[in-house]
Each structure stands twice: as structure tokens, then as C-alpha cells.
Chain A
Amino acid sequence: TQLLEQSPQFLSIQEGENLTVYCNSSSVFSSLQWYRQEPGEGPVLLVTVVTGGEVKKLKRLTFQFGDARKDSSLHITAAQPGDTGLYLCAEIANAGGTSYGKLTFGQGTILTVHP
């Protein structure tokens, strides 16, 4: 079973600061997704990365997939209080090139952005 490690576990910053959270694995990811979860809600998909070295941007969020597809990072520029939440990375189980939609999640990074 793929184990995903996220770091840091907790992050508390002031509005306007930049931050990076990481997701690592001991083996190669087939494809990786990042989610954000707010209290009382389910996770919401932010991005899917598939190709090694891939970089995707979503407004102030930048997602990178490592060249070897064993790590990924999420960078937030000029964080805002609305960015507060639990950030989760997840791998989609892939058997023989077909995704069966079984997500394996990391333990998450709890981000708090203070006004």
C-alpha cells in the first residue's frame, strides 16, 4: 500500500505570507491530486497532476509534481484567511493503466492564516 507523507502537519501564518506544503512517497505516484477541506465539509479537488515535472497554477496556488513522480508540492503566494483549511494530497490507485478511483490520502496539513 502506497504511503503518502505530508509536511508540515500544522502551519500557522499571517495574511500575506507565502507557504509551501509537501507530499512525498517511497514509490512512484501514478497520478496525484490535491484537495482542500474546510471544517464541516468534504474535500474539494484543487488539481490533478500526472506528468513528472508538471507545474499547474490555480490563481495564487502553484502545484508541482516531481520529475521522478515521487513528490509534489503546493505553494501559496500571499496567503489569505480564506485559504485556511486542511490540505490533502491523494494518489489515485491505478491498475494496468486504468484508474479505479481508489484514493489514498496523506494525513494532511492544517493551515491557519491569521488576518
Chain B
Amino acid sequence: DAGVTQSPTHLIKTRGQQVTLRCSPKSGHDTVSWYQQALGQGPQFIFQYYEEEERQRGNFPDRFSGHQFPNYSSELNVNALLLGDSALYLCASSLGARADTQYFGPGTRLTVL
């Protein structure tokens, strides 16, 4: 049973560019949450998708957007990249509306130069 997978593993972009990160949830899970983890910090909640809709959102600007597909996989898009967007981006999957047991993927390390 595959766990949560994310791609790519690492990514280097320059300021102003756009990036798309991908997440495949654990088999049978229908809820995907995205987190940003700066170096030496705990993860910060970006947003959560359930039934292909953004259900709730953290304190992140509109440059951060996402999508969930019918197969429950998800994408995180970041436009107009800033140096401060450099971080580990984590995807977590869970089952159902409660989403209180989340399984995290290994993350995508984004570096913005």
C-alpha cells in the first residue's frame, strides 16, 4: 500500500517564476492538506481540499493556489515566487471530513534564487 507521494523531490526556481507541486494521497484517502515548513520551523497550514473544493485556508496570499482532481490527487501552485517561499512543502492526506489523522508525504524542497 503506497503512502503519500510527492513530486518533484527538489526544485530550484528564480524569483518571479511560477511552480507546481504534486501530491498523490494514500490509497483510499479523499482529503489533502498542504503545509509550508521553513528551515528550523514547524509546518504552517496553507489550505485543505476535500471533494475537489478548497475547504479551508491558512494565512497565505493568493499567490498560493491549489486544485484537487477527481482521483483525489492534488496540486499546489505558487505564482510570482519570492525568496521567502523557499521551504519544504508537505502534503498530508486523510480520510473524510474530520481529517484528524493525517499522513504526510516526504515533501518537496523548493529553493528560490
Contacts and interface: CB of A to CB of B under 8 A. Distances in A.
B42 A101 contact: no
B102 interface: yes
B15 interface: no
B33 A102 contact: yes
B102 A101 contact: yes
Interface residues of B, number: 29
Contacts, number: 70
A103 B102 contact: yes
Interface in A51-106: 88, 90, 92-93, 98-106
Interface residues of A, number: 27
A100 B50 CA distance: 10
Contacts of A102: 33, 45, 48, 56, 58
A98 B98 contact: yes
Contacts of A107: 40-42
A101 B100 contact: yes
| Most chain B CB atoms below 10 A, which of A1, A40, A106 | A40
B41 A99 contact: no
Given A102-B48, A102-B58, A43 B98 contact: no
